[in-house]
Amino acid sequence: MILTCKACGKPYSARTRKGLKYVPEVCSKECFFTWILNSRYTEKSFIPYAEQNYNKNGNFKSPAEVIVFNRFKKEGINVQYEPYILKTADYMYIPDFFLPDYNIFLEVKGKWNYSNYTKFTAFATKLPLFLFDIPFLKRILKWL
C-alpha cells in the first residue's frame, strides 16, 4: 500500500494490517520524531476521561514496551509508563505510554484480540492515542 508521510509529504510503501488505524503515517525514524514534535496537543483533552493510575506495579508487560520506553529515554523524550486509567461509561483502558510534553498517549501492541481493539478505538477516536504495532516498530523505528 502506498501512503503519504505526514511529516515530509513523500510517498512510501507500507504493509498494514487490514482495518488497523491510528498508526503514525511516517516514512522514517527522522520523520517520526518530526511528527511527534509537530503533534503537540496543547489541550489536555483526555482530562475528562483520566484518573491517576496508582495501582500500577511498574513492571512492563512485554519486551517491546521495555524497548520503546528505553528508546524514548535515549532520544531525550519525557515518557511515562501507564500513568493514567482512561474511563468511559462502557470501557476502561490503560495506555502503555504518555508523553507529557506533547499530551500524546501511545499503545504498543503485538497481538490484537477483538476486545482490545474495540476498547482502543473507543478512546482513539476521542483522544490523541496512537498505536505502535510490531511492523511499525520494525519498519520505521527499527527498534525491534
Give the pLDDT confidence of 66-83 residue by residue, as tens digits. 888 888 888 888 999 998
pLDDT of 64 > 80? The answer is yes
**Which pLDDT belongs to residue 11?**
92
**Which pLDDT belongs to residue 43?**
55
Residues 6 or more apart from 23 whose CB is under 8 A from it? 16, 130, 131, 132, 133, 136
Average pLDDT of the chain, as a whole number: 78
List, in sequence order, every residue forming a beta bridge with 3; answer none if it has no partner.
12
Distance in angstroms (rounded) separating the CA atoms of residues 39 and 67: 22
pLDDT of 10 > 90? The answer is yes
SS3 50: strand
What is the DSSP secondary structure assignment for residue 91, as one 8-state letter?
Answer: -
Give the pLDDT confidence of 19-63 residue by residue, as tens digits. 456 777 888 888 888 887 776 665 565 666 667 776 665 688 888
DSSP string, 64-107: HHHHHHHHHHHTT---EES-EEEE-SS-EE--SEEETTTTEEEE
Instruction: Give the CA dihedral 144, 81, 29, 47, nearest 10 degrees.
Output: 140
Cα 108 to the center of its chain, rounded Å: 6
Give the pLDDT confidence of 32-43 residue by residue, as tens digits. 888 877 766 655
What grid cell was written down for 49?
476521561
Q: Which residue has the cell 520503546?
A: 68
